[in-house]
A and B are shown apart, each in its own frame.
Chain A
């Protein structure tokens, strides 16, 4: 290779070293650890695929995997669709729109621990939500939103959605502002109404952004942890425990690093598959591939 050909690689070296040391090396190491029994203190002992075998027989693993999928199905559509409308809304040229834009964005920059505690108060048996619902006559007995196995996971999902809306809204907003206004003008001259403008111009033009948001929101839904850690601790009866929480518990509470790594590898594979599906499926429309 001559000098000129080498130059780009030289520029790539610093980034590669950082990525290698902090992303790829830990990844490889986790794959190796998933084949061992390791408690962080004694030597890792190679045990082949035993961890995976145990994992597939572990009811709790399947339950947390199921919870993760429920989370994904509940959270991703909301985070892909609702922010589009929010973005359209705050894209108006109205006085004081900056205020609304920031208001929608505030949850994103709020610390999850603080938000979790605040939502805890909303969900309490004698909390705001029950009070409002009782006042409106919708329920007669308070519901233990976070203390019942049937509602805890959904209650936490709402927080994830609430927190993510503003972030994805900003991404869409950037997309909206890159759409030329002549397109809308031409459509209006042709007699298109508001809805037709949205479905025929806005959404197709936003397709690359929709693809990005669906990938990002599904990855973050697969990895959900903090909300659960702060609000329910996975309870009651593991009903709100997701895969990452399970991994955390196995690794840092039960000190089964090898076992936790095996679950981590499964999570990695699932996320990978999901992203490939996303790109293949949406890519055709989004012209990203």
Chain B
């Protein structure tokens, strides 16, 4: 009898779960249908906009809140709910909320993640939502950074171009002139050799995290893909890129951590005085943690290759397709990225505005004679902006593709395959992913 009862309860629970599971599979369809919000921005209807930023609190709390109250004053019927999300959680959070049909109205993303949302048709097309006049306020390169398959999925907000940071103390110890830092990959290698010989230290930390191998390829003049998205990198030039990094790695000219470590790792190496130079370090962090190294830092134009290009990083504002107040949301995004608001933002931290008008501000072109390294970083960064572009544009299956290239670099550098074999394998894997 006891056993029978137990079975009965177990059976009931099973039924309950199956019913629940079935139910749920059908309710995901609900998300469709809404989203084409229309024309309520200027009306009297009470609107609340949910606005998410990526890790701006607490440093920029006053700045963001100031903008929000300005906007609310201009638009009394609109209330902005601001939520700041840690960078590491943002992707998961937006995904979870979009899938729960609970997306924010305006969200700050980077192009690669904005691109993966756009790939799922979850973003508002800014080419349609923003007038030509408004669009022309932005730097072309920055606007185009938020495009996937010809559609613009976001408005560019703030930008950055990476610069090289050089530790002049190590340069001097090695008998090198810090005012004449390496400009190309070849020079970087020569400098690394000299520094290793003279000081027994690492010269160069080329970060190879995530999408950076793709970036190195582009910088060294190797196009990544053909028009149809298939791999274009398996050429003699492409093999040379892998040979270059393999040589650095095998001759112990770069720390082994540069293969696996992220930007933070590179910054750690630099601020602990273990490497002489590199691109993509966090200057603000160095200023705070290692004042002595910071004082010795000389910024210079980013190391580049045959392409002569510089990379631009872009932060954008995306309006998810699910918003019920599309017009108001787009207006708010345009307001935040106005020239005036952007200059104010850039004065708080070393970033560059995406607005051409803001870039003409003397703050970005002239620096005082007693300029600190952080001012010089801003100036160097602004100077290379005209040559800069988002080298690795948003693409479908971005994560898979960047893993393919990272694996290709790793295999060659760790001696698991020759550069030729490794790149050929990468080409095959890349094309398989694209064909899916």
Contact = CB atoms under 8 A, between A and B. Distances in A.
Do A and B pair up? The answer is yes
Interface of A: 1, 5, 9, 12, 16, 20, 24-25, 28-29, 31-32, 36, 39-44, 124-126, 144, 146-149, 232-233, 235-238, 249, 252-255
B96 A5 contact: no
Given A232-B260, A237-B411, 14 more contacts: A16-B13, A25-B17, A31-B21, A40-B95, A41-B99, A42-B120, A124-B257, A147-B256, A147-B257, A147-B259, A233-B260, A238-B407, A255-B95, A255-B120
26 contacts: A5-B5, A12-B9, A20-B16, A24-B17, A28-B17, A28-B18, A28-B21, A29-B21, A32-B25, A41-B95, A41-B99, A44-B28, A125-B255, A126-B274, A146-B260, A148-B256, A148-B414, A233-B260, A235-B259, A237-B407, A252-B95, A253-B399, A254-B397, A254-B399, A255-B95, A255-B116
A29 B13 contact: no
A126 B274 CA distance: 10
A283 B268 CA distance: 51
Contact of B410 (A28, A29, A43, A236): A236
B20 A144 contact: no
Nearest to A254: B399
B131 interface: no
A237 B397 CA distance: 19
Nearest to A152: B260
B256 A125 contact: yes
Nearest to B2: A5
Given A44-B28, A146-B260, A147-B259, A237 B5 contact: no
Contacts of B414: 148-149, 236-237
Contacts, number: 83
A28, A126, A148, A249: most-surrounded residue (chain B CB, <10 A): A28
Contact of B13 (A20, A43, A238): A20
Interface string B131-152: 0000000000000000000000
B122 interface: yes
Interface in B252-279: 255-257, 259-260, 274
A73 to B, nearest CB: 24
Nearest to A59: B429
Interface in B215-271: 255-257, 259-260
B292 interface: no
Contacts of A253: 399
A271 B24 CA distance: 27
Contacts of A124: 257
Interface in B118-134: 120-122
B85 interface: no
B179 interface: no
A12 B414 CA distance: 57
A14 to B, nearest CB: 14
Contacts of B5: 1, 5
Contact of A125 (B18, B92, B257): B257
Contacts of B21: 25, 28-29, 31-32
A9 B95 CA distance: 39
Nearest to A256: B400
B13 A24 contact: yes
B91 interface: yes
B18 A236 contact: no
A25 B122 contact: no
A249 to B, nearest CB: 8
B416 interface: yes
B306 to A, nearest CB: 28
B290 interface: no
A40 B260 contact: no
B54 interface: no
Nearest to B16: A20
A255 B21 CA distance: 21
Contacts of A232: 260
B196 to A, nearest CB: 14
B31 interface: yes
A147 B260 contact: yes
A83 B416 CA distance: 39
